[in-house]
Amino acid sequence: MAQAYTPGLKVTNRLSHRMRRVLPIAGEVKASVGDRVQARDVVAETFMPGDITPVNLSNTLSLPPADVLECMLISEGERVEIGQSLARTKGIFGLFKSEYKSKAAGTVESISNVTGQLIIRGKPLPVQVRAFLAGEVVEVIPNEGVVIEAEVSYVQGIFGIGGETYGSVRMACQQHTDELKADLIKPDMEDCVIVGGARMTGDAVRRAIEVGAAAVISGGMDDQDLRDILGYDLGVAITGSEQIGITLVITEGFGEIAMAKRTFELFSSREAADAAVNGATQIRAGVMRPEIVIPLSEEEKAREVEPEHTAGLLEVGAAVRIIRDPYFGQIGKVAGLPAELTVLNSESMARILEVECESGERVAVPRANVEMIEV
């Protein structure tokens, strides 16, 4: 292989972050270069063509399609209201006329003399894009949206559900290894982004929904709890559109796993700051991870810049996390990188590395089963 690498997730205290915020179809951009925008500001807006109601007048009025046009009381392009008569048959000697009254409001888009089908297009549907990242507009993409830039603390999670939401950061756990239980969720956490430590329990999530929290972030969660919360077994990791009244982000994985200490400390240092959270995850081509963006205040920006942490190459001494059983979740340093293929307990042949875990234990794991982490 040309280059083997293990992509990690970004967790950084300070980052000059740019985000493209664009509409799915062309529309109007509501901000200009140089504007300062807040997370909830609408930066672009458009109207999608409205919903369509097809009506087969030929069937409804028992007419041959070719005769539909002459029975129409309205023409293409006209506006119609619910209950308005749209078509009336001639009847027999002027008697026994049948009529069709509209069940939808909108504009008549087309009347077909081939199928006798009438198409009514409803009111245009507004589509808005909010800034999400509070900062400065640095570029306007005409008819599409904007690029916003800001100095932020930035955390990528591994998996999330629910869409974009906003709130101030509230720490619910004392330690990164503490489980986030229901009794740690207080009523004054309404509209907050609650940060836990290790696994978030199902009860804690239900309690957070009850108090009206915006989001819950923690190290892990049980799949069984996720299923109970969603009401179904999540099959494919394409999320973001769930409507469960809250956005959830796990930073490490499923099961009993503590949030990385550095991530926990980052959240602690930004307690009470406004955060924007997006749980949308897509683990396919064009991978998308959930993200938490916390803009820095002017005062924080003035502080000395801490050197950027980067996940470097896989080499002896590099910090890694094991991401598969039997050592799932353990953190350590690479202690050896034997070049030759090794037979695993499963009898598979794989290139391995040796990891010296935080506990002092030295274990051998396949290279595919670790990810580089920033320390």
DSSP structure class, residue 140: E
- 136, 149, 254, 268: residue in contact with another protein (rule CB under 8 A): 254
Under the binding rule (CB under 8 A), the answer on residue 341 touching another protein is: no
Site string for another protein, 262-281 (x = CB under 8 A): -------------------x
305 binds another protein (CB under 8 A): no
Tell me which residues in 149-178 interact with another protein (CB under 8 A): 158-159
For position 141 contacting another protein by CB under 8 A, the verdict is no
Binding residues for another protein restricted to 80-139, rule: CB under 8 A? 109-110, 112, 114-115, 117, 119, 121
Residues constituting the chain: 375
Q: Is 245 in the site for another protein (CB under 8 A)?
A: no
Check binding of 79 to another protein (CB under 8 A).
no
Q: Which stretch binds another protein (CB under 8 A): 81-89, 169-177, 189-197, 228-236?
A: 228-236
Coil, helix or strand at residue 368: helix
Task: Answer yes or no whether residue 366 interacts with another protein by CB under 8 A.
Answer: yes
DSSP characters for 205-226?
HHHHHHHT-SEEEEEEE-HHHH
Site string for another protein, 38-67 (x = CB under 8 A): -----------x-xxxx-x--------x--
Compute, in degrees rounded to 10, the torsion defined by CA atoms 21, 25, 28, 32. 30
- Compare residues 201 and 369 and give the one whose CB is closer to another protein: 369
| Cβ-based neighbours of 115, under 8 Å, separated by 6 or more | 56, 58, 65
- Looking at residue 25, the DSSP 8-state letter turns out to be S
By CB under 8 A, the residues from 309 to 328 that bind another protein are: 323-326, 328
Q: How far is the CB of 187 from another protein (least distance, A)?
A: 31
Return phi, psi of residue 263, to 5°.
-65, -45
Q: Give dist(CA 11, CA 373) in Å, integer.
A: 9
Two structure tokens written together for 169: 């950061």
How many residues of this chain interact with another protein, rule: CB under 8 A?
A: 59
Question: Does 255 participate in binding another protein (rule CB under 8 A)?
Answer: yes
Residue whose C-alpha is closest to residue 320's, from 249, 266, 260:
260
Judged by CB under 8 A, does residue 349 bind another protein? yes
* 369 counts as binding another protein under rule CB under 8 A: yes
Please, which residues bridge with residue 146 across strands?
Answer: 21, 140
Cα–Cα distance for residue pair 206/216, rounded to 1 Å:
11
CA–CA separation, 117 vs 76, rounded Å?
A: 12
Question: 202-211 vs 223-230: helix axis angle to the nearest 10?
Answer: 40
Using CB under 8 A as the binding rule, whether residue 354 contacts another protein is answered as: no
Pairwise CA distance, residues 217 & 27, whole Å: 34
From the list 286, 307, 317, 360, which residue makes contact with another protein (rule: CB under 8 A)?
286
Choose the binding region for another protein from 10-18, 304-312, 333-341, 348-356 (rule: CB under 8 A).
348-356
Give yes or no for residue 368 binding another protein (CB under 8 A). yes
Which amino acid makes up residue 195? V
Query: Residue 201 Cβ, how far from another protein at the closest point, in Å?
Result: 13
* Closest separation in Å from C-beta 352 to another protein: 9
Give the closest residue to 102 by CA, choosing from 65, 66, 74, 63: 74
Residue 175 CB: number of other CB atoms within 10 A? 12
* Closer residue to another protein (CB): 38 or 107: 107
Cα distance between residue 55 and residue 118, in whole Å: 5
> Applying CB under 8 A, which residues contact another protein?
1-3, 24-26, 49, 51-54, 56, 65, 109-110, 112, 114-115, 117, 119, 121, 158-159, 222-224, 226, 232-237, 253-255, 281, 283-287, 323-326, 328, 344-350, 365-366, 368-369, 371
